[in-house]
Amino acid sequence: MKHIYEQGTDNTAPVLLLLHGTGGTERDLLGIAKHIDEGASVLSVRGNVLENGMPRFFKRLAEGVFDIEDLKFRTEELNNFIDQAAEQYSFDRSKVVAIGYSNGANIAASLMFHYKDALAGAILHHPMVPLRGMKLPDLSDKQIFIAAGENDPICAPQETEELNELLEGAGASIELLWERYGHQLSRSEIEAAKAWYEKTYKS
C-alpha cells in the first residue's frame, strides 16, 4: 500500500498508524501525529480504493452504506500490510495505535472488530459502526478514544453510542468525547485526544 514511514526517536512510544478520511492522503494526519507524540514512529497509509478520484479505505454503495465484502477484504489487506511493514521497518507489531478520521476511523474500528491484536489502541475521530452482526474478539486490553459530534450529519449520535456499546461489550476501555460540531475534525478534539494519549501511554 502507498505509505510513509517515519522512524521516531522514542523506542518506548507506540507506533502511530495514520488513516485519513475520504479524499485524503497519507500526508493529512502527519502534523496531528507529531502534535500527539513527537517522538513516536509513524506509519501513514493511503487507502487503496478510489471513489471518483478520492482515496478511501474501502468501497461504499452510497453515503453511509458500506460495501461489506470490500470492507472485509480491505480490512484483511490493511492488517497484512501492517504485519509486513513491522518486519520491513523493524517496529514492534504489538504497539500499533491507530489515529483515524472518518473513513480512516471506520477501517480502524473494522480492524478491531476482526482481529484481536491488529491494534493496541485507537483514536477514532467521527467513526461509524463499520459492520453489524459479528462477534467481536476479546478487546479487554484495548484503549480507545472516540470523538463525536452531536450535529454530525454523517454519523448520527445513536450510531456513536452503538459503536461505543459494541466496543465496551467486547471489553475495551473507551473515552468518548462529545462536541457540538458536525463531522469536521476540530482543534479541540485533537487536544482532547492528545490529553487522553498522554494519560494512557505516557504516565
Contact positions vs ligand MLT (CB under 6 A): 21-22, 60, 102-103, 106, 128, 154
DSSP designation for 184 = S
* Residue 110 is among the residues annotated as catalytic for this protein: no
For the question of residue 3 being annotated catalytic, the response is no
Minimum distance between the CB of residue 152 and ligand MLT, rounded to whole angstroms? 10
CB of 18 to ligand MLT, least distance (A): 15
**Annotated catalytic residue: which of 3, 70, 173, 183?**
183
In this structure, the dihedral spanned by the alpha carbons of residues 135, 72, 78 and 30, taken in order and rounded to 10 degrees, is -90
Burial of 24-62, coded b for 16+ CB within 10 Å and e otherwise, reads bbbebbbebbeebbeebbbbbbbbbbeeeeebbbbbbee
Active-site residue identified among 102, 114, 125, 126: 102
Q: Among residues 72 and 93, whose Cβ is nearest to ligand MLT?
A: 72
Tell me if residue 152 is catalytic: yes
Mind telling me the catalytic residues? 102, 152, 183
